């Protein structure tokens, strides 16, 4: 079995990838930010040189979308420069590289799903810094998979599902945005497809999201329906909840590359949510 280095191993996606890789018998080195400072080129080079991984899955990222607006330097350092460090070190040792990116590389002005070859045009610092990471991967690495995903939820870390369930215990009614449309994605499903992908030589850009799409309001409706939570939900507009960072109104992803490379379709997001809620109990 291959040796795999996973950065950001303490995060929502990274922790599930490490879990699944261990279950499948891979030799896994999961490293969170206390074990590996990905912004330190020397440290990254030493670790990759010592471990000699056949595959690197780069999950480490600056993910606070609103904070990125006021901490631009940190966002580009972690999402751009650190990715360059990983790409250069990985290339030196002929490792395959999986870089986890985001739907936020798109502006959200489309009316049809974005596929892997749609023009990118991020509208916030987070999206711009993640696109910088994509550019670093393409510039400095040859055997790469850029995996864009969206609206991620999983067992570890904060996410929309957990937030809704928490708020439902504190309030009798909730207002949820109904004019942002996207694809909720379960980290377990995403991790499984990343693992399938990394063992191939079908390099390139991939969109990996659960199938189907919804608004945040519709997502909340389904969460409360599945959990039989009695709460009054009210739809509202993005402008009713001003945030420091602009969000794309439409970020539905088309998993075109998975389809043309003959991978199985991703499960529907409602099916994924059901399994997540079952596992969470």
pLDDT in tens, 149-182: 999 999 998 999 999 999 999 999 999 999 999 9
**Residue 277 near residue 224 (C-beta atoms within 8 A):** no
Q: What is the pTM of this model?
A: 0.96
Task: Return the closest-CA partner of residue 266 out of 178, 165, 150.
Answer: 150
136 touches 87 (CB < 8 A): yes
186 is catalytic: no
The region, left, alpha or beta by phi > 0 then psi within -120 to 50, assigned to residue 223 is alpha
CATH topology of domain 3-159+183-211+252-267: Rossmann fold (3.40.50)
CA–CA separation, 113 and 209 (whole Å): 12
Q: How far is CA 199 from CA 94, 140, 142, 194, 264, in A?
A: 14, 21, 15, 9, 15
* Token pair 């810094």 in the structure block, residue: 129
Tell me the torsion sign for CA atoms 161, 165, 166, 167: positive
Residues 6 or more apart whose Cβ sits within 8 Å of residue 252: 112, 113, 114, 181, 182, 183, 213
The domain segmentation of the chain, as residue ranges, is 3-159+183-211+252-267
Catalytic residue among 104, 126, 193, 250: 126
* Among candidate residues 227, 225, 245, 277, the one with its CA nearest the CA of residue 180: 245
**From the centroid of its chain, how far is CA 189?**
12
User: pLDDT in tens for each of the 281 residues of the chain?
Assistant: 899 999 999 999 999 999 999 999 999 999 999 999 999 999 999 999 999 999 999 999 999 999 999 999 999 999 999 999 999 999 999 999 999 999 999 999 999 999 999 999 999 999 999 999 999 999 999 999 999 999 999 999 899 999 999 999 999 999 999 999 999 999 999 999 999 999 999 999 999 999 999 999 999 999 999 999 999 999 999 999 889 999 999 999 999 999 999 999 999 999 999 999 998 76
Tell me: the pLDDT tens digits for 223-239?
Answer: 999 999 999 999 999 99
Q: Is 251 exposed, middle or buried (0-12, 13-18, 19+ CB in 10 A)?
A: buried
- Cα 266 to chain centroid distance, Å, stands at 15
């Amino acid at each position: 079995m291959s040796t795999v280095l996973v950065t950001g191993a303490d995060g929502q996606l990274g922790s599930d990838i490490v879990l699944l890789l261990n279950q499948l018998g891979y030799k896994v080195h999961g490293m969170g930010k206390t074990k590996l400072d990905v912004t330190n080129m020397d440290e990254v080079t030493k670790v990759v040189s010592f471990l000699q991984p056949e595959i690197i899955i780069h999950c480490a990222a600056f993910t606070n979308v609103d904070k990125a607006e006021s901490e631009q330097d940190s966002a580009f350092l972690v999402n751009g420069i650190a990715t360059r460090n990983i790409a250069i070190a990985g290339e030196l040792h002929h490792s395959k590289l999986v870089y986890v990116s985001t739907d936020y590389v798109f502006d959200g002005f489309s009316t049809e799903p974005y596929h892997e070859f749609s023009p990118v045009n991020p509208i916030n610092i987070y999206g711009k810094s993640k696109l910088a990471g994509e550019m670093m991967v393409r510039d400095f690495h040859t055997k790469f998979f850029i995996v864009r995903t969206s609206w991620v939820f999983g067992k570890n870390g904060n996410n929309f599902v957990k937030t809704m369930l928490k708020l439902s215990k504190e309030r009798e009614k909730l207002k949820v945005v109904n004019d942002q449309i996207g694809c909720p994605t379960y980290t377990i499903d995403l991790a499984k497809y990343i693992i399938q992908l990394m063992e191939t030589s079908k390099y390139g850009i991939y969109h990996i999201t659960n199938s189907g799409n919804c608004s945040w309001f519709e997502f909340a409706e389904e969460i409360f329906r599945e959990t039989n939570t009695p709460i009054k939900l009210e739809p509202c507009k993005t402008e009713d909840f001003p945030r420091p960072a602009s969000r794309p109104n439409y970020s539905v992803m088309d998993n075109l590359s998975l389809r043309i490379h003959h991978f199985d379709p991703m499960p529907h997001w409602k099916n994924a949510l059901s399994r997540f809620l079952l596992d969470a109990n």
